[in-house]
Structure formats: structure tokens, C-alpha cells
Amino acid sequence: MSIFAITIHLDSPIKQNMMGIECESDVVKIGNKLFPCTVSVAMDLIGGKWKAVILYHLKDRDKRYSELRKEMPAVTEMTLSLQLKQLERDGLILRTVHGTKPPVKVVYNLTDFGRSCIPLLNAITEWGNQVAVQKGEFIIAQPAVTKI
């Protein structure tokens, strides 16, 4: 089986009718990567346990690494660092370093491309809220009590 690519430019007439475009080819090529469908493209960019969560926490304002750690205490430092690097590599977030002498201030924010997925993040959040209400419960963590 041979694979050949058809390029569809965003300003082409086919963009006018994007519904169903994901079914009009055998593969999708982004850079040097081939994907079986556009859902795979999206999941490559924001899939996994933490990428969408990180994007959600950056959707309203820029944040420092330490702020993200506080807002996501369940993620390990290594995982957060790796996921931030992947999101930056894929163009969804921007890492800005302020200062040259330690301690430097590192700030993360969404790029225009990253902001384009905010409606998706909002939909995922709403759906997750519905699932939690229908199938689970919200639990408020209680601070640890020290016995004297």
C-alpha cells in the first residue's frame, strides 16, 4: 500500500465545509508525524492525564511553575516538567524566563494556538462536572489534624 499526501490549506474552499473532513483521507500528516484521524491529532496534543489539566489552569492567566504545582498537588514535579516541555514544543504554551541571575522567574502562558482549545477545555470541564454529579461525588480535602 502506498501513501501519498493531499494538502488542504486553511484558506481553501474545502475549509468552508469542515464537517466530515476527518473522513476524507486515510491519514493526516502534521510535520513528520502521521495520524489515522484528526481525533488522534488532538489527543496527541492534549491527551494524557495532565496536559488538558495544565492548559485548564493556564486558560485564565499566566502562571509560574510553583503556582501550577500548588494547583495540581497530585502531579509529580518530573511529570509536570515533562508535560510543560511537550506543550511548549507543540506550540500550545509559551515559557518566558524573566531575569538572568538566579532566582529567575519563569512564567507559562497559553499561545494563540493554546487559546484556540479553550472552548474544548470548557466542554471537557462541563462534561466532567456532569459525570462527577451523576456517577460520583465532590470531596473536600480536610487539613491534617496534629494530636498533642
Shared domain check, 83 and 58: yes
This prediction's pTM: 0.79
Angle between helices 38-46 and 51-58 (to 10 degrees): 70
Position 1 scores a pLDDT of 38
Give domain status of residue 142, yes or no: no
Shared domain check, 8 and 74: no
Instruction: Quick: pLDDT tens for 37-77.
Output: 889 999 999 999 999 999 999 999 999 999 999 999 999 99
Shared domain check, 85 and 64: yes
65 contacts: CB under 8 Å, gap ≥ 6: 80, 84, 106, 108
Position 11 scores a pLDDT of 55
Shared domain check, 84 and 19: no
- Residue 58: Cβ within 10 Å count: 25
| Residue 106 domain boundaries | 48-134
**Average pLDDT across the chain, whole number:** 87
